[in-house]
Amino acid sequence: MRLRTGLFALSAATALPILAFAILAAAFVVQGENEAFVAAAKARQALENIAAVLREAGARPEHVVRMTWYVVDKREYLAAARAVGAAYREIIGAYNAAITAVEVKALIEDRARVEIECTAVVPE
């Protein structure tokens, strides 16, 4: 399986003693296997994209305070929930960010199956 990934947005704003920024990461499949395996692989890649942007900004996963997951197929996402959870714990950790998952009709990138938006607050 090959994955193509995209990092669609990174914005930053300084507010008193914290740096807050938002990340929108997506991963979509060019070639795939079964749906649950593909969904887990795409979510893992999007999480790795987020971790990379955090590192580049001098932040760490524990600075993430909010995530919104946009998925195009709720059943595909739920079938992969165990593997997605394992990837999350491995890449992000066991931090208590507020997480929302939303099923959407489509994403801007036609081949995308998941987008994860997150906000990190980094103490200065």
DSSP 29-58: EEE-SSHHHHHHHHHHHHHHHHHHHHHHTT
Indicate the SS3 state at residue 119: strand
Bin 12: left if φ > 0, else alpha if -120 < ψ < 50, else beta.
Answer: beta
Residue range 40-72, pLDDT digits in tens: 888 888 899 889 888 888 889 998 989 999 999
Predicted TM-score of the model (pTM) = 0.75
**Which of the four pLDDT bands, split at 50, 70 and 90, describes residue 6?**
very low
